[in-house]
Each structure stands twice: as C-alpha cells, then as structure tokens.
Amino acid sequence: MVIGDGAYIKKLNRSLILQKIIEHEFISRAEIAKITGLNKATISVQVADLLDAKLVQETQQEHNTVGRRPIMLSINESAGYVLGIDLDFKEIKFQISDLQGNIVETNTIAINTEVYEEILYILIEEIRDYKEKYSTCHYGLVQAIIGVHGTVNNDEWIQFIPRFHWSNKDLKSDIEREVDVKVSIENTANLSIFAERVYKYPESDNMLGIVLISGIGAGIINDGKLVKGHDGYAGEIGHMIISPFGQECRCGNSGCWELYTAEPVVFSQLMERLDRPNLSYNDIKQLLAVSDPTTCEVMKTFISYVSIGLNNMINSYNPETLIINSELLKVYPNAIEEIEENLQSSVSVYQQIVLSDLGKDASVLGACALAIQNFFQVEEVVFSREEVLD
C-alpha cells in the first residue's frame, strides 16, 4: 500500500461499501457509516458513483414506526448475471445467478463423450446462448466460471482431469477465443468450500471441505482465503497415503486414501458382495434400515477409512469447521457421531464437523459467488439468506 495514494484509498472504500451492501442486502448510508467508520461525505460521493454505474439502487423501505423512512441501498441485482458451470463426468451443470447471489436458472445436460474438442464445442455453444439471453441488461453476462474435477494451475490451465484423461488444456483461452465472455477455470473442491463459506458459514475463517462424491478433493480456507499452494494444486488429499503397503494407485503410489473412500469404490464393493448389478443411494439406505450385515460392515469400514484421513487433515490444518460433502454418508444414520467417536486423538482439534447441505450444488453455487466477488472486486461476499438454498 502506498500511503496517501488517493486513488487506491478510494478504491478500497468503494470495495468496502459494496461489500456491506451485498452482505446486508438492504442498508442505509448511515448504517454503512456506523459499520465501516467511513465518514458520511465519503460514503455519499462513493454511493453517487455506484448509483451512476447502475451497480446499486435506492429504495424507500416501508415500515410501521412513525418518522422518516430511510432510503435503503441494495445491489442492482439484475444489472448483470454470472454463470457457474460444473464440468462433471457424464454431465455438465449450468447455473445463472444475479449479482446478489439469487439463483435465476439451472440446467443440466448429459454428455456421452470424453473428447476435449467435443466438450469444448458444447461449452462454447451453451455459453454463447447464455450470453445472448442476458445481453439486454446493463452489464450482460459478466463472467463464466467452470469448475473441473481435476487439478488447475495458477494460470488456470487444466493440469489433469483423470476421468476425461485430459492433461495440459487451456480451456479458458479456447473458449474466450470463440465467445466474448470472461471465463475462469477452478477446481470444484475449491468452489464447493467457497460456497459453504459464502452461503452457510460466513463467520468461519478456517474451514476444511472434503468432497467424497466421485473422486476425493479438499478445499481449504485459511484466515478467510482459499489456500491453493505454490502451483495451485493444494487439496489433492485423495492421494494422501493411509496404508503404506496397500493397493496400487494410478498416481504411482500405494495405499492412497481415495482407493478406500471414493464413493464409486464403496458402491462396487457392495454390488460385488451383495451380487447386485445396480445399487442406488436409496437402496443402501433401505439395506441399512433393515441392518443388512454386509451393507453395515462395508459402510462401517468406509467410515473408519474416512475417519483416518480426516484425522490426518485435522492435524494438518486445525480447522474451525470441517464440512464433509458425501451423498453416501447422508444415507447412513449418525454418520457424524460415528466419525467423531473415531477421532479420539488428543491432538486432533476442531470446532465442528458437519455434513454439507449444499451437496452436488455446492460447486456451481461457489462458481457464481466467486464470479460476483470478482465482478465487484470485493474482498469477500456473504449471502446469508437460507431461501436461496431451498
């Protein structure tokens, strides 16, 4: 920071004011002054600029008490839109959100290809359609963020997506060359923990999000910021070794955590042992309800392995909130209690372990929230309304 740099301070103040308007949804100039400590003249000038830029709007709030009704400020939520995309194996999910984090529409399309050029073509066509659809508002479609189930480096190149066998793909540039929309690429575990913080746990500055759905990934928030590591690959915890002489892994090591805890692994074990060609989450729930011994045994083993990895992660990060995103644990009664019973080490310290309510939607929600944060150039966004998630 350069002391006395007026333009820089002006930018900081603008960012802080916007952040408070987003967080409070409706707030008066006087309340902003009280919360931020900025003087009223500064707020007045900045708000005038934001009104001019159509980023903020004024409303006179109705209330029953006698006296002057204050003019409230809120985000001009329909001035622009953001697009969150989850590029998953076999399907791509698209979600449009307005600038206040309200979901406007969601659409999932099935894909039966892993070929890069074919998926690229689908993404370009869809993004082009959304850009056209939202072109009439002031800022149009401001950004598309694509979550991928693989590693993404600091330049937003896809380093590796195992399920697609893609490596070193510049998906961002390949799309931006064809459509005039700002595109960003991010790992889905990072987007998921970002959504948890923005929508559910804004007070928690040290969070660990473990996604166990298809592969395994972790999103780490330390002091309120996403932790990405030197190259951008932090959180590849599926390849944490938990059994040194265990099964061989495609990564070249043996005994990696995901060989024991990825949900597809548990499904295939159950299908083989129960001799059933297909199993759904609901089937497993029903088998557990009648205490089927094989299902109970496989699930108990799964939970033991989950606990071993969590123990190691807790010792590494000492999180305040640890969020497990797992459809399989959701069908298991008292999963969290059982995990907590397994975490007996006196040095494993955390405040709370919870199962994610956001589930598979977490990544697109996080993508939209991150795009909004980028658009407003604010330090953080908080959308604390429960109804968004119902």
Residues 12-71 touching Zn ion, rule: CB under 5 A, are none
Q: How many residues bind Zn ion (CB under 5 A)?
A: 5
C-beta of 146: minimal distance to Zn ion in Å? 25
Contacts 24+ apart (CB under 8 A), 239-244: 240/309, 240/312, 240/313, 242/305, 242/308, 242/309, 242/312
Region near Zn ion per CB under 5 A, out of 209-217, 253-261, 313-321, 379-387 = 253-261
Residue pair 191/370 in contact by the 8 Å Cβ criterion: yes
C-beta of 241: minimal distance to Zn ion in Å? 8
C-beta of 265: minimal distance to Zn ion in Å? 12
- Figure out which of the listed residues 251, 296, 336, 343 binds Zn ion, where binding follows CB under 5 A: 251
Residue pair 113/120 in contact by the 8 Å Cβ criterion: no
Q: Would you count residue 249 as binding Zn ion (CB under 5 A)?
A: yes
Region near Zn ion per CB under 5 A, out of 173-181, 192-200, 224-232, 247-255 = 247-255
Region near Zn ion per CB under 5 A, out of 29-37, 46-54, 241-249, 330-338 = 241-249
C-beta of 156: minimal distance to Zn ion in Å? 24
Half-sphere exposure of residue 147: CA atoms within 13 angstroms, side-chain side: 33
- 101 or 215: CB nearest Zn ion: 215
Contacts 24+ apart (CB under 8 A), 57-65: 59/26, 61/26
Token representation of residue 237: 């915890």
Q: Report d(CA 78, CA 164) in Å as an integer.
A: 36
C-beta of 242: minimal distance to Zn ion in Å? 11
Residue 38 CB contacts under 8 Å (≥ 6 apart), including other chains: 13, 16, 17, 32
Q: Would you count residue 243 as binding Zn ion (CB under 5 A)?
A: no
C-beta of 231: minimal distance to Zn ion in Å? 18
* DSSP secondary structure string for all residues of 79-140: G-EEEEEEE-SSEEEEEEEETTS-EEEEEEEE-----HHHHHHHHHHHHHHHHHHTTTSSS-
- Figure out which of the listed residues 256, 306, 368, 378 binds Zn ion, where binding follows CB under 5 A: 256
- Figure out which of the listed residues 54, 128, 131, 239 binds Zn ion, where binding follows CB under 5 A: 239
3-state secondary structure of 185: strand
- 251 or 296: CB nearest Zn ion: 251
Q: Would you count residue 122 as binding Zn ion (CB under 5 A)?
A: no
- 252 or 333: CB nearest Zn ion: 252
C-beta of 319: minimal distance to Zn ion in Å? 23
Residues found near Zn ion in the complex (CB under 5 A) = 239, 249, 251, 253, 256
